[in-house]
Amino acid sequence: MRAILILTLKDLRRRLADPAGLLLNLAIPLVMGAMMYLAFGGRGGDTNAAPVLRILVLDLDQGPVARAITGASGNPEAARRLDMRLVQSREEGLRRLREEEFAALLVLPEGFSKALLDRRQVELELLKNPAQTVMPIVAQQITEVLSLYLSIGARIVGDDGARIRVLFEGEGWTDAAGIAALITSLRDRVIDMRDLLFPPLIEVEKTSAKKDTGGFDLIAWLFPGMVMMGLLFTSVSQMGDLLRESQQGTLRRQLTAPLGAAQVVMAKVLSVAIVVAIAFCLLVAAGRLAFRIHWGALGPLAATGALVVLAATGFAALLFSLVRTERQGDALGGILTMLMSLLGGTFFPIEALPAWMEPLSKLMLSRWGHGALRILAEGGGWEAVSGHLAVLAGIALVCTALGVAFLGRRHLRGAL
Amino acid sequence: MTANDGKGPPLRVGEVRFSYGKTRAVDGVSFEVAAGEIFGLLGPNGAGKTTTISMISGLLTPESGQVLIFGGEASGASGAARARMGVVPQEVALYDELSAAENLRFWGQLYGLRGAALQDAVRQALGLVGLTDRRNEKVGKLSGGLKRRLNLAVGLVHGPALLLLDEPTVGIDPQARLHILEVVRDQAKAGCAVLYTSHYLEEAEQICDRLAIVDHGRVLAAGTVAELRRLVGEGPVVQLRGEVDADRLKALAGRCPGVGLLSCADGTASFSARDAAACSGLVRELFQAGLKLEDLRVQEPNLQSLFLKLTGRELRD
- Give the model confidence (pLDDT) of A345-372 as tens digits: 888 777 777 778 888 888 888 889 988 9
Chain A environment of B154 (Cβ under 8 Å): 253
Chain A environment of B59 (Cβ under 8 Å): 252, 255-256, 414
From B61, which residue of chain A is nearest by alpha-carbon distance? A412
Q: Measure the CA angle with vertex B228, ends B224 and B232; round to 5°.
A: 165
| Model confidence at B298: pLDDT above 90 | no
Could A249 and B111 be called an inter-chain contact, meaning their C-beta atoms sit closer than 8 Å? no
Residue A41 pLDDT grade (very low, low, confident, very high; cuts 50, 70, 90) = low
Residue A65 pLDDT grade (very low, low, confident, very high; cuts 50, 70, 90) = confident
Could B91 and A258 be called an inter-chain contact, meaning their C-beta atoms sit closer than 8 Å? no
Chain A environment of B60 (Cβ under 8 Å): 414
Residue of A249 and A197 predicted with greater confidence: A249
Amino acid at B127: G
How far, in Å, CA of A405 to CA of A394, rounded? Answer: 16
Give whichever of A30-44, A230-244, A303-317, B190-204 has the largest mean pLDDT.
Answer: A303-317
Q: What is the arithmetic mean of pLDDT over B227-236?
A: 75
CA distance A7 to chain B (A): 8
pLDDT digits (tens, 9 = 90+) for B167-205: 888 878 888 888 889 999 999 999 999 999 988 888 888
Could A252 and B58 be called an inter-chain contact, meaning their C-beta atoms sit closer than 8 Å? no
Could B58 and A256 be called an inter-chain contact, meaning their C-beta atoms sit closer than 8 Å? yes
| Model confidence at A61: pLDDT above 90 | no
Residue B116 pLDDT grade (very low, low, confident, very high; cuts 50, 70, 90) = very high
pLDDT at B194: 95
Chain B environment of A258 (Cβ under 8 Å): 79-80, 82-83, 110-112
Query: What are A53's strand-pairing partners?
Result: A82
Q: Which of A10, A12, A238, A413 to mutate to test the interface with B (most CBs of B within 10 A)?
A: A10
**B76 inside 8 A of chain A by CB:** no
**A242 inside 8 A of chain B by CB:** no
| Model confidence at B52: pLDDT above 90 | yes
The domains of chain A, with CATH numbers, are: 2-43+216-412 (no CATH), 52-158 (3.40.1710.10)
Residue of B307 and A321 predicted with greater confidence: A321
Q: What is the arithmetic mean of pLDDT over A228-248?
A: 88
For B73, the enclosing helix (H) or strand (E) is strand B72-73
**A191 inside 8 A of chain B by CB:** no
| Model confidence at A145: pLDDT above 80 | yes
pLDDT digits (tens, 9 = 90+) for A277-324: 998 998 888 888 888 888 888 899 999 999 999 999 999 999 998 988
| Model confidence at A147: pLDDT above 90 | no
| Model confidence at A49: pLDDT above 60 | no
Residue B96 CB-density burial (10 A; 0-12 exposed, 13-18 middle, 19+ buried)? middle
pLDDT at B312: 65
Cβ contacts of residue A320 below 8 Å, gap of 6+?
A: A239, A240, A242, A243, A329, A403, A407
pLDDT at A216: 60
Q: Where is average pLDDT lowest: B66-75, B105-114, B277-286?
A: B66-75
pLDDT at B243: 79
Q: What is the arithmetic mean of pLDDT over B140-158?
A: 91
Residue B209 CA: distances (Å) to CA of B33, B37, B98? 10, 6, 36
From A16, which residue of chain B is nearest by alpha-carbon distance? B97
Residue B26 pLDDT grade (very low, low, confident, very high; cuts 50, 70, 90) = very high
CA distance B73 to chain A (A): 13
**B19 inside 8 A of chain A by CB:** no
Could B82 and A254 be called an inter-chain contact, meaning their C-beta atoms sit closer than 8 Å? no
**B73 inside 8 A of chain A by CB:** no
- Do residues A325 and A243 touch, judged by C-beta distance below 8 A? yes
pLDDT digits (tens, 9 = 90+) for B210-220: 999 888 888 88
Chain B environment of A267 (Cβ under 8 Å): none
Q: What is the arithmetic mean of pLDDT over A72-95?
A: 81
pLDDT at B139: 92
SS (H, E, C) A311-376: HHHHHHHHHHHHCCCHHHHHHHHHHHHHHHHHHHCCCCCHHHCCHHHHHHHCCCHHHHHHHHHHHH
Could A14 and B94 be called an inter-chain contact, meaning their C-beta atoms sit closer than 8 Å? no
pLDDT at A47: 47
CA distance A323 to chain B (A): 20
The domains of chain B, with CATH numbers, are: 11-229 (3.40.50.300), 234-300 (3.30.70.250)
CA distance B83 to chain A (A): 6
Chain A environment of B79 (Cβ under 8 Å): 258-259
CA distance A11 to chain B (A): 10
Q: Going along A20-158, which residue ranges are E strands?
A: 53-59, 82-87, 104-108, 125-128
CA atoms within 13 A of residue A39's CA, in its CB half-sphere: 9
- Do residues A287 and A223 touch, judged by C-beta distance below 8 A? yes
Q: Which of A250, A412, A413 to mutate to test the interface with B (most CBs of B within 10 A)?
A: A250
- Do residues B171 and B15 touch, judged by C-beta distance below 8 A? no
**B85 inside 8 A of chain A by CB:** yes
Q: What is the ipTM of this complex?
A: 0.80
Is the C-alpha dihedral spanning A31, A37, A43, A44 positive or negative?
negative
| Model confidence at A204: pLDDT above 90 | no
CB pairs under 8 A between A and B: 64
Q: Say which DSSP state A72 is in.
A: G
Could B112 and A253 be called an inter-chain contact, meaning their C-beta atoms sit closer than 8 Å? no
For A168, the enclosing helix (H) or strand (E) is helix A161-168
pLDDT at A163: 78
Q: What is the arithmetic mean of pLDDT over B99-108?
A: 95
**Beta-strand pair B23-33/B11-20:** antiparallel
Residue A99 CA: distances (Å) to CA of A79, A103, A260, B37, B261? 22, 11, 73, 91, 98
Q: Which of A13, A254, A258 sits opposite B98 (nearest CB)?
A: A13
